[in-house]
């Protein structure tokens, strides 16, 4: 079975409601794949949050990947880990050794070459960013655009377009070969996470 086409990236600062409430609403809108980012939490709080999100996703067969912390993913029983680009190819291999063959190993890539390297190292999917201009991903240079996404899609590794994705351009990302899109603000920060998730999914099918 392939990965869900919408990967929601958490951001508890984006709305007044508690993060589990936002994720619960997004799941009600059809989300089945969540990346726990929120890197500024201490380890204990992040562990509790991971377990809360796993409990929300489990009844619908959803997946949680923990951003950047292989041991936390293992301890909480998350379905996998999403590694930053700084982890490098060795980080992908170490994560696989720790979490096993069934775990989802994701990787944050910022160039087409990095997609190829992640595939060779055994990643299960990668995000490629920033595809469009976005305030959420400063410091990564200019937007890569759909041409880069199309070039990256020649690899067999499933790629999620990240950066500046909205319900209108999500379909274009799929049309050039992306497996799906990764979204933070478009679901996390709005007044209606359930409706936002449903709109994204409608445009991705």
State pLDDT tens for residues 24-83.
999 999 999 999 999 999 999 999 999 999 999 999 999 999 999 999 999 999 999 999
What confidence tens digit (pLDDT) does each residue in 106-128 have?
A: 999 999 999 999 999 999 999 99
Average confidence score pLDDT of the chain? 95
Picking from 44, 36, 46, 43, the residue whose alpha carbon sits closest to that of residue 9 is 36
For the chain, the farthest-separated pair of C-alpha atoms sits apart, in whole angstroms, at: 41
Q: What region does 96 belong to: left with phi over 0, alpha with psi -120 to 50, or beta?
A: alpha
Q: Are strands 125-128 and 180-183 parallel, antiparallel or unpaired?
A: unpaired
Separation between Cα atoms, residue 182 and residue 67, nearest integer Å: 13
| 3-state SS assignment for residue 159 | strand
**In whole angstroms, what is the distance from residue 33 CA to residue 79 CA?**
10
Q: What is the pLDDT of residue 138?
A: 54
Q: Determine how β-strand 104-109 pairs with β-strand 6-9.
A: unpaired
CA 105 to chain centroid, in Å, comes to: 11
pLDDT digits (tens, 9 = 90+) for 66-79: 999 999 999 999 99
């Amino acid at each position: 079975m392939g990965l869900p086409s919408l990967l929601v990236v958490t951001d508890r600062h984006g709305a007044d409601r508690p993060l589990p409430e936002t994720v619960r609403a997004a799941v009600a809108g059809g989300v089945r794949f969540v990346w726990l980012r929120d890197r500024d939490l201490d380890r204990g709080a992040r562990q509790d949050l991971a377990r809360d999100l796993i409990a929300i996703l489990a009844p619908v067969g959803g997946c949680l990947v923990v951003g950047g912390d292989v041991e936390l993913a293992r301890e909480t029983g998350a379905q996998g880990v999403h590694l930053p680009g700084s982890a490098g190819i060795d980080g992908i291999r170490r994560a696989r050794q720790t979490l096993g063959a069934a775990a989802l190993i994701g990787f944050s890539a910022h160039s087409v070459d990095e997609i190829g390297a992640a595939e060779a190292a055994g990643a299960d999917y990668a995000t490629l960013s920033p595809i469009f201009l976005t305030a959420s991903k400063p410091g990564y240079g200019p937007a890569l655009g759909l041409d880069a996404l199309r070039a990256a899609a020649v690899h067999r590794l499933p790629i999620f377009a990240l950066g500046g994705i909205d319900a209108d351009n999500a379909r274009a990302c799929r049309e050039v070969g992306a497996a799906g899109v990764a979204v933070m603000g478009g679901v996390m920060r709005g007044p209606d996470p359930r409706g936002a998730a449903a709109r994204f999914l409608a445009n991705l099918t």
